[in-house]
Amino acid sequence: MRGVIGRRAQDGRLKARSAGWLKRTMLLSMAIVLPLGASVAGGVGTASAAFNPDAFDFWVDSSMGPIKSRIFRAADGNTGRVVYALDGMRARGDLNGWENDTEVARELTKWNINVVMPVGGPSSFYADWNAPSNFFGIPTGSGPSGSSSGSALTGSSGWQETLGKTNTYKWETFLTQNLRNALRDRLGFSSVRNGVFGLSMGGSAALTLAAYHPDQFTFAGSYSGYLNISAPGMREALRVAMISAGGYNIDAMAPPWGPQWLRMDPFVFAPQLKANNTRLWVAAGSGIPAGGDATDPLGIVQGTPLEVLAMANTRAFQIRMASLGANNVTYSFPPVGIHNWNNWASEVYRMIPDLSANIG
């Protein structure tokens, strides 16, 4: 009898050690993968578009200072159908990645949808942070190269993001109050029944905005989003990624074990999305490169593992919503697609009919 008990105890210790080893391996893998992927999540990929003269700059004051958005008007001139397009972790200071790297705005406006593209906010998760980002009182890090424009940018050949470092990121307040009201008062845009979608960082942010501002956002789309950020290892991995993507300190956004982590986690606030009956489009690629990705081998190396991680997060969210009996979500898991603009642009085209039917 003692031998049986001993063997069971030994088996238990082995399982515990195995679980611990698996967790440490996951942590290490994500810590390595996410910084690589962060460079993808801001604009690396084979899609290309650059500056679109159809848009115009729209500046709005905020507690962060003046913030630029790019506005694309609906083809029929309506002001009632509006969608916000959110960028990734390496959001640039001159153009939103959706304009710089895709042509989705042209298609959205053909569907008589006004497109609002906020510019800037790398590593922000479009959240209201608790404090300015610094390390031991010293702001550090710079954004990716791009043309210089705006009060938060410096330099002629590149830019350094000081927003969120010399002051505190307040992106949720900006999107749901400052920008929302300015679009209504200055352009006549509807401030209710809008849509919002985003990639990677912007994907989880889109669901967050819809969960807590259901009158403004009746539709939300997430592509390759991190929808289970409370999972073991995710906070540590995002910490490294945010240092890579602009030199941001994650503790300024949400301190360790602070309640904001739960507020920001789609897996946690899923019941709110169900209760709001928000129409959702949730997508992630398989991690298998598409044919058009072959010209960018480095993008494949970086984007494949990151998309696999995003897919795991997205599948966890799917299971969570299913456990709640939610039927307000369309899931899209294409057989190919890595963490790049080709994947995300293709997803927008698939999503547009559903978006069009659920806004305005």
| Per-residue confidence band for 33, with pLDDT thresholds at 50, 70 and 90 | very low
Q: Which of 307, 332, 346, 347 is catalytic?
A: 307
List the domains of the chain with CATH numbers. Answer: 2-357 (3.40.50.1820)
Q: Which of 200, 204, 222, 346 is catalytic?
A: 200
Average pLDDT over residues 107-126: 97
Greatest mean pLDDT among 40-44, 72-76, 257-261: 72-76
pLDDT at residue 256, as a whole number: 83
Active-site residue flag, 347: no
Answer whether residue 142 shows pLDDT above 80: no
Of residues 136 and 154, which shows the higher confidence score? 136
Average pLDDT over residues 322-346: 92
Residues 146-150: contacts with CB under 8 Å, at least 24 apart: 146/92, 146/93, 146/94, 146/95, 147/94, 148/93, 148/94, 149/68, 149/93, 149/94, 150/66, 150/67, 150/68, 150/93, 150/94, 150/119, 150/120
Of residues 281 and 236, which shows the higher confidence score? 281
Q: How far is CA 7 from CA 14, 16, 18, 99, 342, in A?
A: 10, 14, 16, 62, 53
pLDDT at residue 149, as a whole number: 27
Q: Which of 161, 204, 244, 339 is catalytic?
A: 339
Query: pLDDT for 338-355, tens place per residue?
Result: 888 888 999 999 999 999
Active-site residue flag, 307: yes
pTM (two decimals):
0.84
Q: For 44, which DSSP code?
A: -
Q: For 89, which DSSP code?
A: T
Average pLDDT over residues 104-120: 98
